A and B are shown apart, each in its own frame.
Chain A
């Protein structure tokens, strides 16, 4: 049976670093306050980069590592909730940059869970033999949707892109997945509202506040801690495995405290959860592929290792994938 294997990883990180100490100068906060509640010390924000340029940088690295010709790419799937344009897709903009002329391109939107959804889409095309080589990217520029006067949210987010190349394989790849959504709670978390104003209806025109990230911290915390645990359990159990069989858990890097609660509930040592939020903040759907790229570069991932990737966020949506590396 055909599986889809992740054969290479890449990342695009903005040059500019913003530390907690930098934020102390902008809003009433402190390094200690931010670090103890989130695990974040610094994040990157775009200067001259955009979501598409970061995505292209991540893609080029992954393509280089995979040693493939961009013309071999059948499809580009980009996860983003902070695209450069509503149209064209970031996927099309990346296609131009990398010369993947034979690819069909689309963006998918599932907020912080988006990378998992994008990988799931790629996996289905590969399994159906409708694509052989797929470039999956998650690229996010949340800094443009951040209200830099709101100390409760502006300390949390960062910009980044991560990419993987997925390819049909007989041996290894994605084993199990679970995707889910609870639209009933869509008002709990979001960004980028687009007003309906036109010259006939007198509806309010958009302001910066409309586009900013909004979040009900308590509800998001509750959702994340319960659903992440539940989703990981479902996927691991449905594969007939136990937590001991999993080499690494790679969660969406939303908040260290959320992951600590989940680790405790799962009775899994925190060391098995790969964390890099300290250096990037919450980069929405980009966080998982950026983490994978670091793990890959550091030799943490070996052939045959079973890895859990799990994202959760606005929608509310969540997704967990079990990969044999």
Chain B
């Protein structure tokens, strides 16, 4: 769990230009990080590549926790 979170934290920080410390499990990707739909698309692409999974519905990821859980379930 921790390992997945840290990797996702890194991906989101890279895409949004935010500091990793700003990104917690509760962080709302769009609202808290000023990410728009295209940022979210790229975050999802990077998560898919990193964990070799397929995320069908981009709307299923609202918070960082959602992303971590999707990766956990998919593995």
- Whether A associates with B in a native complex is yes
Q: Does A125 contact B (CB under 8 A)?
A: no
Compute how far the CA of A36 lies from the CA of B41 in the bound complex, rounded to whole angstroms.
Answer: 15
Select B36's contact among A36, A225, A255, A261, beta carbons within 8 Å. Answer: A36
| Interface positions of B from 13 to 50, Cβ below 8 Å from A | 36-38, 41-42, 44-45
Select B42's contact among A36, A217, A261, beta carbons within 8 Å. Answer: A261
Compute how far the CA of A261 lies from the CA of B36 in the bound complex, rounded to whole angstroms.
Answer: 14
B45 to chain A, nearest CB (A): 5
A230 to chain B, nearest CB (A): 12
Is A218's CB under 8 angstroms from B36's CB? no
A interface, CB within 8 angstroms of B: 36-37, 217-218, 221-222, 225-226, 255, 257, 261
B interface, CB within 8 angstroms of A: 36-38, 41-42, 44-45, 58
A50 to chain B, nearest CB (A): 33
Chain A neighbourhood of B37, CB < 8 A = 37, 217
CB closest residue in chain B, given A36:
B36
User: Shortest 10 CB-CB distances between A and B: which pairs?
Assistant: A221-B41, A257-B38, A218-B58, A218-B41, A222-B45, A37-B38, A37-B36, A261-B42, A221-B38, A225-B45
Chain A neighbourhood of B38, CB < 8 A = 37, 221, 255, 257
A30 to chain B, nearest CB (A): 13
> What is the number of contacts between chain A and chain B, taking CB atoms within 8 Å?
21
Chain A neighbourhood of B41, CB < 8 A = 217-218, 221-222
Compute how far the CA of A217 lies from the CA of B39 in the bound complex, rounded to whole angstroms.
Answer: 12
Compute how far the CA of A225 lies from the CA of B41 in the bound complex, rounded to whole angstroms.
Answer: 10
Select A226's contact among B36, B44, B45, B58, beta carbons within 8 Å. Answer: B45
Chain A neighbourhood of B45, CB < 8 A = 221-222, 225-226
Given contacts A217-B37, A221-B38, A261-B42, 18 further A-B contacts (CB under 8 A): A36-B36, A37-B36, A37-B37, A37-B38, A217-B41, A218-B41, A218-B44, A218-B58, A221-B41, A221-B42, A221-B45, A222-B41, A222-B45, A225-B42, A225-B45, A226-B45, A255-B38, A257-B38
- 21 inter-chain pairs at a CB distance below 8 angstroms, sorted by A residue, are A36-B36, A37-B36, A37-B37, A37-B38, A217-B37, A217-B41, A218-B41, A218-B44, A218-B58, A221-B38, A221-B41, A221-B42, A221-B45, A222-B41, A222-B45, A225-B42, A225-B45, A226-B45, A255-B38, A257-B38, A261-B42
Compute how far the CA of A69 lies from the CA of B6 in the bound complex, rounded to whole angstroms.
Answer: 65
Compute how far the CA of A218 lies from the CA of B36 in the bound complex, rounded to whole angstroms.
Answer: 12
A37 to chain B, nearest CB (A): 6
Compute how far the CA of A225 lies from the CA of B38 in the bound complex, rounded to whole angstroms.
Answer: 11
Compute how far the CA of A37 lies from the CA of B58 in the bound complex, rounded to whole angstroms.
Answer: 17
Chain B neighbourhood of A261, CB < 8 A = 42
